Amino acid sequence: MKREFGTLPDGSQVHLLTLRSDEGLEAEVLTYGGILQSLRLEAGGEPVSLVLGLEDLPAYLADTVNLGRLVGRTSGRIAHGRYEHDGRTYRLSVNEGHHHLHGGSGGFGRRLWRVEEQDVDRARLACTLEDGEDGYPGRLEASVEFRLQGTTLHFDCTARCDAPTPFDPTYHPYFNLGGDPAVPAAEHWLRVPADRYLPVDAELIPLGEIARVDGTPFDFRQPVAPTRNTDLAHPQIRMGKGYDHCLVLADAADCSAELYSPHSGVAMRVSSDAPALVFYEGQILDAHHPRLGRGVCLEPQGFPDAPNRPGFPDAILRPGRKYARRIAYRFARVAPGSAWEDAMAALTEGFAQK
């Protein structure tokens, strides 16, 4: 289903696309920014809202915290809005202090996408970024597909460019599986099979070190609520005023992350081909959207500031190569208050239950 959602200042019409699966998962996606405006799970009882969303287009146009947006060309920060490649210095737009964040002010999340295909349970959107937009070299053709299969939301991004350009997109929903904004998402149980993380400086730029998580608040290899795992005296937690860090997945990682709300009984498994996951606690929401409550971001991606860090995995998309990134969000529902093991078993077995 497709309906009008609002009009941009230039007169362009924004649409909301509703997708439904045959197992009770429903997603609503905006053509503006590819925003995941809502995601609900109906299987096993009353519908549960899974992500935070805003009511109308003016609210999204004013939003500065990337609520539910597509993120690109790059995710995370590029220090001082510049990088060097093949002996040339490129200067990108600066939209967070002295730095470039999430593709800049004109990135994926702040443009109108074309609807290429739509069916009951899937939609494919496309957009073109011209050479020089936000300082990036090359004309980039990108497409994203949203597809519901059972209780899984699949997100697939592909792109080609005619010049070498940094490219590392991700998706930025704020998840609260409790179905109630009064239930803090940081009290959900979280597991991330990451054995290393990237320490940052006071402006949240990676220092270049890839540190072990052992003995730190960044060890989520066993399920634990972030509120119970944090150490407010830890210098890295002080830097981010909470969690806002890139966790490097172990070679043998079985997923990107798992999240479970005992309050609602809803569990989620995030799977991706990305080498890392940024865990953001959503602390900025308190100031920008106080009525929404808290949601956590689990962002599969490469390493932030990779174009400036030779020791990080390469993040340059080159002409003649097709980029592909996949993310899958799988949901299951058990009785509220169930043990973590029961919720994970429901995810693995692929069915929802009361």
Active site residues: 172, 299
Q: Contact 38/49 with Cβ under 8 angstroms?
A: yes
- DSSP-derived letter for residue 207 is -
φ and ψ of 114, to 5 deg: -85, 140
Chain centroid to CA 77: 14
Q: Tell me if 244 is assigned to a ligand binding site.
A: yes
Q: What does 83-113 look like in DSSP terms, one character per residue?
A: EEETTEEEE----BTTBEETT-TTSGGGSBP
Q: Tell me if 245 is assigned to a ligand binding site.
A: no
Q: Tell me if 90 is assigned to a ligand binding site.
A: no
Integer distance in angstroms from the first to the last C-alpha of the chain? 29
Q: Tell me if 168 is assigned to a ligand binding site.
A: no
CB atoms inside a 10 Å sphere around CB 251? 8
CB atoms inside a 10 Å sphere around CB 276? 28
| Coil/strand/helix, residue 348 | helix
Give the residue numbers of the binding site: 172-174, 244
Give the residue numbers of the binding site for beta-D-galactose: 172-174, 244
